[in-house]
Amino acid sequence: MKLTIDTTDRLDKALARFYPDAGRKQLAALIADGAVRVNGKHASKGDRVTVGDVVELAREPVSGTALRPAPDPDVPLTVLLEHTDLVAIAKPAGMPSQPLRAGELGTVANALAFRFPECVAIGDDPRDGGLVHRLDIGTSGVLVAARTPEAYRALRAAFGSGMVIKHYLAITDGRPAARECDAPLAQRGKRVVVDAAEGLPAYTEIAVEHAAPGHARVRCIARTGRMHQVRAHLAHVGSPISGDTLYGGAPLIGQNGFFLHALSITLPIGREPLVIEAAIPDRFTNALHTCALL
């Protein structure tokens, strides 16, 4: 497929004008896979294009229903709560929340599509599979999906208005120097950075539950839901999450990945708030022992 560019912009943004439903992540993946050429040369992330440039795509991005998660019976699904309007599951660390590409398997959304097929068509993004929020691949804990369009809209509105309360447990390098962080956050590639000019409002409460030489067990409460919010805020106050090398955390000897667990979520449903909790996984408990935090 050949495209002639009619504007000057970053390559992924220019492609988004031709494929508005494909999603920026899918377009970035095409570039990273070497499937995009500009004027005959392989494109790189961050390249800019100008009027008259010719862009060639080895394959076109998919959109619409083709992006919906396919049922995957091989993905384990730990259900914490099954309700007529929603389902809450315990996501393990290392599992993506949703697929990025058409036909991709092995995500929470794929497991939901098999166990709760009504979730497949629910969401603003066809890849959502009913999910009303997401957790990073390396984060474990409570993840919620809607089973009806009405529930999806209500829950998304609750998240957007700050009515949803999320408690996280983290192991940090050192002891956080602040009890809260309200630094505005902006995405820059794979990372999120503090940006007072262009960042979105974000607020995290920080409470040290136990401290030991070199590490701390920290409870964080977030009402906003920015990408990598807890990870970026803890790094900003001087105590990145242990193992979170993207934000300056040092790897734990004998342990893989970083240590952030979505311990509970409180939803404004019915007369009383609905609190859903996920047990601390064994890998997290083992790391707590390693850091003398139990």
List, by residue number, the catalytic residues: 136
Tokens describing residue 73: 């019976």
Cβ proximity of 222 and 206 under 8 Å: no
Go through the chain and tell me how many residues it has: 294
Q: Which single residue is written with the structure tokens 């022992």?
A: 289
Query: Are the C-beta atoms of 75 and 107 separated by less than 8 Å?
Result: yes
Which runs of consecutive H residues, i.e. helices, occur in 166-269?
229-236
CB burial class (10 A; 0-12, 13-18, 19+) of residue 45?
exposed
Q: Any bridge partners for residue 94, and if so which?
A: none
Q: Tell me the C-alpha distance between 198 and 200, whole Å.
A: 7
Q: Distance of alpha carbon 171 from its chain centroid, rounded?
A: 19
Q: Which residues, in sequence order, are CB contacts of 293 under 8 Å at separation 6+?
A: 171, 210, 211, 212, 215, 216, 217
C-alpha to C-alpha distance for 216 and 261, rounded to whole angstroms: 14
